[in-house]
Amino acid sequence: MSHIAITMPVFNELLEPQDIAPSLDFANTGTLVCQDVPEIELRAKIRFILNDKVKFAIGSTDEIKRLMRHWRAKLSPDIESTDEIFVSGFEYDEELTDLASEAPIIRLVNHLFARALDLNASDIHFEPSATNLDVRCRVDGIMTRIERLPIKIHTAVASRLKLMARLDIGEKRLPQDGRIDYQIGSKQLDMRVSTLPGVHGESVVLRILDRSDTAVSLQQLGMPADVLRQYRELITQPNGMVLITGPTGSGKTTTLYATLEKINSEKQKIITVEDPVEYQLEGITQIQANASIGLSFATGLRSIVRQDPDVIMVGEIRDHETAEIAIESALTGHLVFSTLHTNDAAGAVTRLQDMGVAGYLISSSLLAIQAQRLVRRVCTDCSNTSELTDDEANALEIEKQICPTVNRGTGCDRCGGTGYRGRIGLYELLVMSDAIRHHIATDADANVIREQAIAEGMRTLRQDALEKLKAGITTPEEVVRVTRAI
């Protein structure tokens, strides 16, 4: 390995004696020459990215500039000499491609992917600011920063990600979307990539989809036993529509895939139209919606009906046309599954009415509406039992005797010090009855429908959350965070 010259901020820790190169005679020693002293953690990261045999040495500004000029001229004689290794101004796509293909950048990006996988992150965010490139992950629904890099490296990292996603590496003014197929160990990852131009550079977000983690059964989702029994009966009906509702990131897609896996058999033809197709299911025909070529949910759904399906899954009902075709399909002998973005189960009826669907059509086609959320689980390796405080009881709007003790995680290596590991679903299943169908057909308010469902035994999201709190599965803070807006 050749010498590399780099400038770093001043740190308080001194280099350990074995880390320091014996002299500034840099002939083929694999030495990293620094203007200031890097701390131990940073040295470990540098060795991971470059080479575990890297030595460190302190050099003057003049010596570092001389080394930069020497190696820049030797390695890239056609590129004008510069005092920076990573610079932000590149005019040609070829230069960006070369930068993104350098081994240190490849290792850095791979290292960040591995860190995200270790945390079971669902998303990786690369966020440039005036001075830093922050790398944050969404772990169990909560954003966590895993790295802070110098802003000078941003162009190289962004170019590497765009190169992997087969995006236009030179286009920095417009948003772009792509995909990365990535193998790490035995895991095959499918990452959706989105770039967005910002004041300080492009923000890049990767959504991680683990293809080896698709075998989620309905029993693993966390449905209460009575809800699971009802839901299983509903999804074996010959026709009708089942809606899954909730905000983005509430596990709707996971529930739909688990449902399709449960009912999938050679005796039925199942077709889906999705945007995007997140996981590929064997034995099921899956269509990728693409609005740019005119293949919308409505267009795809209209074509699906002509394919003689038994079961249809529509990724999301977004407009009147899609809603109308889905309901017509449910009324003409098909079992239809889809999603809506609503706050609770009863709100889905109002949303369909707002889209222009007649109440009598909704009441005739719907079998059930399931609203859901995700709460973080208490880490089982560091959990302990403590008393519910008065403030927590007030926030939960319950009497202390209802749940006198709760489980909390103290933080350990397994959970990254958070006290939580993994998530579990909260569920509110509204099953159609004659009384509820009458309310819907007469355009009753969502509150009336909700009260009727509760009177008939529906467990609300808040009630399900409290049951999981009593069982020691989650914490008061999580219940309040997830259900306070419901």
Q: What are the distances in angstroms from CA 203 to CA 104, 113, 198, 283, 321?
A: 21, 16, 7, 38, 34
The b-or-e profile of 428-453 (16+ CB within 10 A means b, else e) is: bbbbbeeebbebbeeebebeebbebb
Mean pLDDT of 30-43: 75
% of the chain residues with pLDDT over 90: 62
Whether 6 shows a pLDDT value over 70: the answer reads no
Express each pLDDT in 208-227 by its tens digit. 987 665 567 899 999 999 99
**pLDDT class for 481, splitting at 50, 70, 90?**
very high
Mean pLDDT of 330-359: 95
**pLDDT class for 99, splitting at 50, 70, 90?**
low
Mean pLDDT of 67-82: 53
Whether 415 shows a pLDDT value over 70: the answer reads yes
Express each pLDDT in 119-128 by its tens digit. 889 999 999 9
At 214 the pLDDT is 56
CB 454 within 8 A of CB 435: no
Express each pLDDT in 233-269 by its tens digit. 999 999 999 999 999 889 999 999 999 999 999 999 9
At 69 the pLDDT is 63
Whether 9 shows a pLDDT value over 90: the answer reads no
Whether 135 shows a pLDDT value over 70: the answer reads yes
CB 340 within 8 A of CB 381: no
Of 83-97, 291-305, 343-357, where does the model show the most confidence?
343-357
CB 198 within 8 A of CB 221: no
**pLDDT class for 94, splitting at 50, 70, 90?**
low
> 0.85 cut: is pTM over it?
no
| Residue closest to 450 by CA, chosen among 470, 429, 427, 466 | 429
- Count of C-beta atoms within a 10 Å radius of residue 238: 9
The CA distance from 386 to 402, in Å, is 14
Output the six-digit token pair for 384: 């302990």
Express each pLDDT in 162-188 by its tens digit. 999 999 988 889 999 998 988 877 777
Q: Which residue has the higher pLDDT, 444 or 32?
A: 444
